[in-house]
Amino acid sequence: MDKHPERCFDKRKSGSILLELNIVFMVIVIASSVYCSAVQVFFNNSRKLLAAIEIAKAARYTESIIRRELSYNSAKVKLAKDFNNRDQIICWKTYKNVRAYWYLSNMMLYRKTLKDSTTGVNSFSNPEIKLTDFKTFPLGKNKIGVIMAFKDPESGLERRIASALFLSNGFVVNESSL
């Protein structure tokens, strides 16, 4: 019982394998390109997410330092402008003959402390996160508002943080009352 080669149905199976391999290869290429683009979007968004987390931490830290300083350790607070027309906070402490200046310089928030004749300057910003704007305004006799703008230089993400600071032991003074 020999089969004639023209009547053999096994030839058809060998020709369909090449077509199936091409289809499988195309499916793999499409799936891998979708996966690569999804991973790229994830990494781009994760960089912005990490930048947002760093900005939030820097803002929380800066605000808590200023809040603690002004709420509990100040007797008088004056909102003024420096020589470059930038906002600054001048704080007369509850300690005798101690005065602190909060100001923005070179995208960093600084506190300059004057005690009798000695002076000290401390930076109170995260060096990786830049503080691009620092605005102050009075909200009442014992309350001031502060608006700070933080920027992550790597991702370009910028956030503005506004906060109201209550002066527990002090009050806001005007230019005329000094």
Amino acid of residue 169: N
pLDDT digits (tens, 9 = 90+) for 86-108: 888 888 887 777 888 888 888 88
Residue 1 has pLDDT above 70, yes or no: no
Q: Against a cut of 0.75, is the pTM above it?
A: no
Average pLDDT over residues 24-32: 94
- Check whether 127 has a pLDDT greater than 80: no
CA distance 35 to 140: 56
Which position has the higher pLDDT, 133 or 18?
133
Residues 6 or more apart whose Cβ sits within 8 Å of residue 54: 126, 128, 129, 152
Question: Closest Cα partner for 124 from 114, 134, 115?
Answer: 134
Top pLDDT among 1 and 162 is at: 162
Mean pLDDT (the chain, rounded): 81
Between 75 and 4, the higher pLDDT residue: 75
Q: How do residues 36-73 score in pLDDT, each as one tens digit?
A: 999 998 888 888 888 888 888 888 888 888 888 888 77
Cα 141 to Cα 144: distance, rounded to the nearest angstrom: 8
In this predicted structure, what is the pLDDT of residue 117? 67
Q: Which of 71, 90, 77, 87 lies closest to 165, judged by CA?
A: 71
CA-CA distances (angstroms) from residue 13 to 5, 31, 74, 172? 14, 27, 89, 91
Is 133's pLDDT higher than 70?
yes
* pLDDT higher than 90, residue 32: yes
pLDDT exceeding 70 applies to what percent of the chain? 83
The bridge status of strand 171-173 relative to strand 74-81 is parallel
pLDDT of residue 18 exceeding 60: yes
Of the pLDDT bands very low, low, confident and very high (cuts 50, 70, 90), residue 12 is: low
Residue 161, pLDDT > 80, answer: yes
Confidence of residue 176 (pLDDT cuts 50, 70, 90): very low
